[in-house]
């Protein structure tokens, strides 16, 4: 009985974290169900004929071993907590597979049912035989399996001459997600075996594993089956050795309705009609995959249509709903996928290893996209483009996401991290090179610069907290599925991208690419740890005699093994430089020790009076560099183009010279450094390193700035001022000042667009036009409000023709709904419900949160948990509402009141809890709110926060910092604003 499903309270939490169905599974498992018992050792029958899954009749009713155990163990729930408090050392209580067995290949057949069964649930059935090698003698087989019911006893076959031992006992170990098989004898090292299982699972709408997605087409409800395996849900589709290093080859067969198309990683090699228990089905078989990890598997059964092309020998296909394909929404993706793939082939100097690359747009999808090898899945809004409704921002997102996923085809799929603790390398890398790939597809956009706003500055905000964490984690600390989910955070993606960009920059791109190519070619089809990449970059450094002051791993250890980043301070009077760990809250206590005592090797590219200087390395906490001394009105700017992952502070005199230069000749400072000056100044002020008024002074020159990025940076930073002040009297002054600064920009765009009749040429100009309208309207510039209200009512009068230019829709909808009442809101809601285009629906969904009428917002919150809002969108909708000053307290109350429900219903396969928690609490700035937050944490300890656990801590820390900031700065800000407002 020691091997039951122990569901004590703490373990129960783990189960719930894993998904909405956990509770159902626990209940389910307590029921003894009928089975067909197959004979152990019946070699040929089980391994060569794949009986159609799910067709196994219930011939005998025997309870398999473990089933009875289940019942008993479940009954004891809550009464005996012993099994979890006493750490057990049974191999099946460990979250990592033992080192005894290695898979070689799988034969997998799956049959998803797109109609509910007699119990009114959607299911899939399947069978799998896995061939594995034994590398150490063992009498135990542990194979991952989660939420699957076995429909027959598993059977084991020896592939060598010695017969396989018989199966003594088997059961599902729920907490660690194993199918445990105890054997009567020993598996011998060096021998291969085959394990056959038949199973059934629910095709739930939980966005994880093998799941279903729904949509309506011409009024008809359609159901499709699709997958999301990463990180640990392949085991929810079939029993498998579900760890990234357990690579194998997969032979996949899908049974499906003849009216549907089945897709998988490999090319289809055969699709024939078959009769299964009197039902006519199509049996589609796919080419054996290359050696790959389970988390990259995918299968999809749908009625989708396709557009396709060839790029050299590689077939490129875009799949989507029939209506979307008919409306040519796959065209843009089709045009850029091939060229981006080619770009990466040459960048990596490695050919694409597969014959095809499919991109599939899914109506329900949790992440932005998923890099399944050969069968990439996307949210619709991340793949489908329609010039009549999509903005240029939508287009940019599509280009960068496609590039990100294609980058993984080599970096991640061909060469895979050994364990999830190195996820940052995988995601950071793809998040960096996505800009290179997108730049290749759209060279006019200047998109490489966008990494500053999109990643570097964004993650600085998180990495400057004492609760941050290093990029690299220990393997032992990332064990449980929810710990694995938690590493998919901004640090992994954006800090990873930022430090790899810095590395590529100081090595130079050719050297970086050379090392990369050697790494990929050396480790193809196998697994690595991050230091393997350093080794190969070092080889490239040595071969090219590139000069760096330490070797690659010594430099990078500083950025990878310690959290945070430095602020480099230069005193231009003396040439003295210092570096310190930058903390947004200078009084926060850093408990995490660093092996390098928070000191970095900092590459400093810099300019003096606009002229680029030789790179300088700051290798100690303090140093002197005579070249950085200035005389007269000479100024210096460090961290040219923000290629390094650090902030810069100056002596007051240099700051003043920089502010003067911004006002007199802003273009003598490169645009990325104008962005940097604004962002660094605001954050240095937050950290009490410079005066808040100095930061505000960096915005004075904006009345003459027309470039997008500095404006965006300023607005992002002022966003904090809005959050802190929009419930106080300072708000009026803030609005007056911003309105005054933005008015020239509004006029500029009015002019260059011929009174809003043309679209600006430049990609970023189009973005800045949106900023101009958004800020002009929100600060109450009359021309602006009239303009957007006019457009919106024109649309309301004739809903079939939307007169609003796609780039401007988000901001126009938001401004018009904010200025309007129930009539505008209901109109937009109806347009949202009837919208068949995801990007349009997304804009409306965001804009509906802009209302200033509390009851409308409360009703909207209620809607978020109904079927009108897709599960994937629920948390972001709540965050939108919380962003609105009127919606903030409503959203917080709502989340608190519904936490248990939200957690249960939205926990499965979800990475968005940390966003939700951070999103609804980011305005918190009073002692009262801090208490509420702590109370919330304590009240829900038993339910848990899943992937949002860290976010709770971050939110508490942030609230404390806000309280302090307000008390220190409120009056200064108000006085400064008063002085800056022209009468």
Applying CB under 6 A, the span of 163-171, 289-297, 806-814, 827-835 interacting with ligand NAG comes to: 163-171
Residues 6+ positions from 625 with CB-CB distance below 8 Å: 570, 575, 577, 616
Of the pair 184, 280, the CB lying nearest ligand NAG is at 184
Binding string, residues 98-137; x marks residues near ligand NAG by CB under 6 A: -------------------------x--------------
Strands 415-417, 526-528: pairing is parallel
Question: Is residue 907 part of the contact set for ligand NAG (CB under 6 A)?
Answer: no
**580 vs 689: CA distance, rounded Å:** 12
Find the binding residues for ligand NAG in span 166-195 (CB under 6 A). 166-168, 184
Which CB atom, from 106 or from 210, has the smaller least distance to ligand NAG? 210
CA distance 264 to 572: 61
Conformation bin of residue 508: beta by default, left when phi > 0, alpha when psi is -120 to 50: left
CA-to-CA distance for 383 and 379, rounded, in angstroms? 7
Count CB neighbours of 115 within 10 A: 8
Q: Residue 672: name its binding partner from ligand NAG, Zn ion, none (Cβ under 5 to 8 Å by kind).
A: none
User: Is the bond into 231 cis (omega within 30 degrees of 0)?
Assistant: yes
Query: Binds 463, which of Zn ion, ligand NAG, none (CB < 5 to 8 A, cut-off by type)?
Result: none
Phi/psi for 847 (5° steps) reads -70, -30
Q: Which of 153, 191, 198, 202 binds ligand NAG (CB under 6 A)?
A: 202
Query: Would you say 424 or 792 has its CB closer to Zn ion?
Result: 424
Task: Annotate each residue in 360-399 with x if it binds ligand NAG (CB under 6 A) or - if it does not, as one string.
Answer: ----------------------------------------
How far is Cα 419 from Cα 106, in angstroms, rounded to an integer?
Answer: 21
Q: Site size for ligand NAG, by CB under 6 A?
A: 12
Give the residues lining the site for Zn ion (CB under 5 A): 427, 430
In the shown chain, the binding pattern of residues 603 to 632 toward ligand NAG, with x for contact by CB under 6 A and - for none, equals: ------------------------------
H or E element: which one contains 356?
strand 356-362
Output the smallest distance, CB 139 to ligand NAG, in A: 11
Q: Which stretch binds ligand NAG (CB under 6 A): 160-168, 775-783, 846-854, 912-920?
A: 160-168
Could you give the CA distance from residue 603 to residue 495 in angstroms, rounded to a whole number? 16
Beta-strand pair 356-362/305-311: unpaired
Whether the CB-CB separation of 259 and 150 falls below 8 Å is answered with no
Taking the complex as a whole, how short is the minimal distance between the CB of residue 391 and ligand NAG, in angstroms?
Answer: 42
The listed partner (Zn ion, ligand NAG, none) that binds 184, CB under 5 to 8 Å by sort, is ligand NAG
Binding partner of residue 149 among ligand NAG, Zn ion, none, CB under 5 to 8 Å per kind?
ligand NAG
Q: Which of Zn ion, ligand NAG, none sits in contact with 200, Cβ below 5 to 8 A by type?
A: ligand NAG
d(CA 255, CA 278): 14
Asked whether position 12 contacts ligand NAG by CB under 6 A, the answer is no
* Closest separation in Å from C-beta 978 to Zn ion: 47
Minimum separation from the CB atom of position 190 to ligand NAG (A): 24
Which of 63, 526 has the CB closer to ligand NAG?
63
Minimum distance between the CB of residue 4 and ligand NAG, rounded to whole angstroms? 16
The nearest distance, CB 59 to ligand NAG, in angstroms, is 17
Tokens for 683, please give them: 């954050």
* Residue 430 touches which of Zn ion, ligand NAG, none (Cβ within 5-8 Å per kind): Zn ion
The residue among 228, 136, 244, 316 whose CA lies nearest residue 523 is 244
Pick one of 149, 421, 605, 915: the residue that binds ligand NAG (CB under 6 A).
149
Token pair of 839 as six digits: 């990007």
Interacting span for ligand NAG (CB under 6 A) from 26-34, 242-250, 492-500, 861-869: 26-34
Number of H helices, E strands in the chain: 33, 31
Question: Any alpha helices (H) in 291-422, and if so which ranges?
Answer: 322-326, 331-348, 392-408
CB 615 within 8 A of CB 603: yes
Q: Quick one: 727 exposed, middle or buried, by C-beta within 10 A (0-12, 13-18, 19+)? A: middle
User: Among Zn ion, ligand NAG, none, what binds residue 229 when CB lies within 5 to 8 Å by partner kind?
Assistant: none
The nearer residue to ligand NAG, 156 or 828, going by C-beta atoms, is 156
Q: Which partner in ligand NAG, Zn ion, none is near 550 (CB below 5 to 8 A by kind)?
A: none
| CA–CA gap between residue 423 and residue 946 (Å, rounded) | 19
Residue 783 CA to residue 785 CA, distance in Å, equals 6
**Cβ-based nearer residue to ligand NAG, 41 or 393:** 41
Instruction: Choose the one of Zn ion, ligand NAG, none that binds residue 123, judging by a C-beta under 5 to 8 angstroms depending on kind.
Output: ligand NAG
From the list 405, 482, 486, 705, the catalytic residue is 405
| Beta carbon of residue 230, minimum distance to ligand NAG (angstroms, whole number) | 22
Among 19, 201, 209, 239, binds ligand NAG (CB under 6 A): 201
When the beta carbons of 120 and 388 are compared against ligand NAG, the nearer one is 120
DSSP 287: P
Q: Which does 28 bind (CB under 5 to 8 A by kind): ligand NAG, Zn ion, none?
A: ligand NAG
Q: Minimum distance between the CB of residue 371 and Zn ion, rounded to whole angstroms?
A: 6
Plot region of 909 (φ>0 → left; ψ -120 to 50 → alpha; else → beta)? left
Task: State the angle between helix axes of 871-883 and 838-847 in degrees (0 to 180), rounded to the nearest 10.
Answer: 30
Select from 198-206, 395-403, 443-451, 973-981 the region that touches ligand NAG (CB under 6 A): 198-206
Residue 200 contacts ligand NAG per CB under 6 A: yes
Nearest residue (CB) to ligand NAG, 33 versus 756: 33
Q: Among ligand NAG, Zn ion, none, what does residue 168 contact (CB within 5–8 Å per kind)?
A: ligand NAG
The Cβ of residue 602 has, within 10 Å, a number of other Cβ atoms equal to 26
Residues 809-838 that bind ligand NAG (CB under 6 A): none
33 binds ligand NAG (CB under 6 A): yes
Closest CA to 650 of 680, 692, 616: 680
Which residue is listed with tokens 């009076």? 609
Minimum CB separation of residue 292 from Zn ion in Å reads 16
CB 236 within 8 A of CB 244: no
Residue 512 and residue 520: Cα distance in Å, rounded?
A: 12
Please report how close the Cβ of residue 112 comes to ligand NAG at its closest, in angstroms. 11
Q: Which is nearer to Zn ion, 177 or 294 (CB)?
A: 294
Alpha helices in 417-508 (DSSP H): 423-441, 451, 457-463, 481-486, 490, 496-507
- Check if the beta carbon of residue 40 is closer than 8 Å to that of residue 166: yes
Q: Kindly report the number of other CB atoms within 10 A of residue 24's CB atom.
A: 14
SS3 716: helix
For residues 218 and 235, the answer to whether their CB atoms sit within 8 Å is: no
Report which residue's Cβ sits closest to Zn ion. Answer: 430
How far apart CA 408 and CA 426 sit, in angstroms, is 8
Asked if 352 and 411 touch (Cβ cutoff 8 Å), the reply is no
Q: Is 405 a catalytic residue?
A: yes
Give the interface segment with ligand NAG, choosing from 27-35, 371-379, 560-568, 930-938 (CB under 6 A): 27-35
Q: Could you say which DSSP state residue 885 is in? A: T
Query: By C-beta, is 403 or 662 nearer to Zn ion?
Result: 403
Q: Which of 199, 251, 183, 180 is nearest to 41 (CA)?
A: 183
408 annotated as belonging to a binding site for a ligand: yes
Of the pair 431, 572, the CB lying nearest Zn ion is at 431
Q: Give the shortest CB-7-to-ligand NAG separation in angstroms.
A: 16
Note the residues at the interface with ligand NAG (CB under 6 A): 28, 31, 33, 123, 149, 166-168, 184, 200-202
List residues forming the annotated binding site.
Answer: 404, 408, 427
Tell me which residues are annotated as active site.
405
Residue numbers in the known binding site for Zn(2+) are 404, 408, 427
């Amino acid at each position: 009985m020691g091997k039951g499903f122990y569901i004590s309270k703490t373990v129960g939490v783990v189960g719930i974290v894993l998904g909405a169905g956990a509770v159902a599974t626990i209940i389910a498992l307590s029921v003894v169900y009928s089975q067909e018992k197959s004979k152990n050792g019946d070699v040929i029958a089980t391994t060569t004929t794949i009986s159609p899954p799910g067709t196994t009749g219930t011939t005998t009713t025997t309870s398999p071993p473990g089933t009875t155990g289940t019942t008993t163990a479940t009954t004891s729930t809550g009464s005996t907590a012993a099994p979890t408090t006493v750490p057990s050392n049974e191999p099946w209580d460990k979250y990592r597979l033992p080192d005894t067995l290695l898979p070689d290949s799988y034969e997998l057949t799956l049959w998803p049912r797109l109609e509910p069964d007699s119990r009114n649930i959607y299911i899939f059935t399947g069978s799998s035989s896995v061939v594995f090698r034994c590398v150490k003698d063992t009498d135990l087989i542990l194979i991952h399996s989660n939420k699957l019911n076995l429909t027959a006893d598993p059977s084991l076959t020896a592939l060598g001459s010695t017969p396989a031992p018989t199966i003594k006992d088997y059961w599902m170990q729920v907490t660690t997600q194993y199918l445990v098989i105890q054997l009567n004898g020993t598996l011998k090292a060096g021998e291969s075996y085959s394990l056959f299982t038949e199973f059934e699972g629910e095709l739930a709408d939980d966005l994880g594993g093998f799941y279903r997605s729904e949509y309506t087409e011409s009024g008809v409800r359609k159901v499709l089956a699709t997958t999301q395996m990463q990180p640990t849900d392949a085991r929810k589709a079939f029993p498998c050795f579900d760890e990234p290093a357990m690579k194998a080859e997969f032979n996949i067969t899908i049974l499906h309705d003849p009216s549907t198309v089945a897709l998988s990683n490999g090319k289809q090699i055969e699709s024939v009609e078959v009769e299964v228990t009197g039902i006519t089905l199509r049996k589609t078989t796919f080419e054996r995959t290359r050696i790959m990890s389970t988390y990259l598997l995918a299968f999809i059964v749908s009625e989708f249509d396709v557009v396709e092309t060839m790029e050299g020998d590689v077939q490129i296909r875009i799949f989507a709903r029939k209506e979307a394909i008919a409306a040519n929404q796959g065209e843009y993706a089709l045009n850029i996928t091939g060229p981006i793939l080619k770009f990466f082939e040459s960048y990596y100097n490695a050919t694409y290893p597969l014959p095809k690359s499919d991109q599939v747009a899914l109506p329900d999808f949790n992440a932005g996209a998923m890099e399944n090898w050969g069968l990439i899945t996307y949210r619709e809004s991340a793949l489908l483009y329609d010039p009549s409704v999509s903005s240029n921002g939508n287009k940019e997102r599509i280009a960068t996401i496609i590039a990100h996923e294609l980058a993984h085809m080599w970096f991640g799929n061909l060469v895979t991290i050994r364990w999830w603790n190195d996820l940052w390398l995988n995601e950071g890398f793809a998040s960096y090179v996505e800009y290179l790939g997108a730049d290749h597809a759209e060279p006019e956009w200047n998109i490489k610069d966008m990494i500053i706003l999109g990643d570097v500055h964004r993650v600085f905000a998180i990495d400057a907290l004492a609760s941050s964490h290093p990029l690299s984690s220990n393997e032992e600390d990332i064990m449980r599925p929810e710990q694995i989910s938690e590493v998919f955070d901004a640090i992994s993606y954006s800090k990873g991208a930022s430090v790899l960009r810095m590395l590529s920059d100081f090595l130079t791109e050719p050297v970086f690419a050379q090392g990369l190519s050697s790494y990929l070619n050396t480790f193809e089809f196998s697994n690595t740890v991050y230091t393997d990449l350093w080794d190969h970059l070092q080889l490239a450094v040595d071969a090219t005699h590139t000069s760096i002051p330490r070797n690659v791993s010594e430099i990078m250890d500083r950025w990878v093994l310690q959290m945070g980043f430095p602020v480099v301070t230069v005193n231009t009077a003396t040439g003295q430089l210092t570096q310190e760990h930058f903390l947004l809250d200078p009084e926060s206590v850093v408990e995490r020790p660093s092996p390098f005592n928070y000191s970095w090797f900092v590459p400093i590219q810099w300019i003096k009076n606009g002229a680029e200087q030789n790179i300088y390395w700051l290798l100690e906490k303090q140093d002197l560099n005579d070249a950085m001394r200035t005389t007269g009105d000479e100024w210096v700017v460090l961290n040219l183009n923000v290629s390094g992952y650090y902030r810069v502070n100056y002596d007051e005199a240099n700051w003043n010279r920089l502010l003067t230069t911004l006002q007199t000749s802003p273009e003598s400072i490169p645009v990325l450094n104008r962005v940097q000056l604004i962002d660094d100044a605001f954050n240095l002020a937050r950290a009490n390193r410079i005066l808040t008024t100095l930061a505000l002074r960096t915005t004075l020159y904006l009345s003459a700035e027309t470039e997008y990025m500095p404006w965006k940076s300023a607005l992002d930073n002022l966003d904090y001022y809005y959050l802190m002040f929009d419930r106080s009297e300072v708000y009026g002054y803030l609005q007056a000042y911003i309105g005054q600064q933005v008015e020239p920009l509004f006029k500029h765009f009015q002019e260059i667009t011929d009174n809003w009749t043309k679209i600006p040429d430049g990609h970023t100009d189009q973005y800045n036009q949106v900023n101009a309208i958004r800020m002009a309207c929100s600060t109450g510039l009359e021309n602006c409000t009239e303009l957007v209200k006019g457009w919106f009512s024109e649309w309301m009068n004739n809903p079939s023709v939307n007169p609003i230019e796609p780039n401007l829709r988000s901001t126009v909808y938001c401004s018009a709904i904010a200025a309007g009442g129930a009539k505008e809101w209901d109109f937009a809601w109806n347009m949202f419900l009837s919208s068949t285009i995801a990007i349009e629906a997304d804009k409306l969904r965001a804009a509906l949160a802009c209302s200033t009428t509390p009851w409308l917002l409360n009703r909207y919150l209620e809607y978020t948990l109904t079927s009108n809002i897709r599960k994937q969108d629920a948390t972001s909708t709540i965050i939108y509402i919380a962003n609105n000053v009127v919606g903030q307290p409503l959203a917080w109350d709502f989340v608190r009141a519904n936490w248990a429900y939200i957690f249960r219903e939205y926990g499965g396969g979800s990475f968005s809890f940390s966003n939700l928690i951070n999103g609804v609490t980011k305005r918190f700035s009073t002692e009262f709110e801090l208490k509420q937050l702590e109370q919330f944490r304590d009240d829900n300890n038993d339910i848990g926060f899943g992937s949002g656990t860290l976010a709770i801590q971050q939110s508490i820390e942030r609230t404390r910092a806000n309280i302090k900031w307000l008390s220190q700065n409120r009056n200064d800000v108000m006085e400064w604003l008063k002085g800056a407002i022209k009468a």
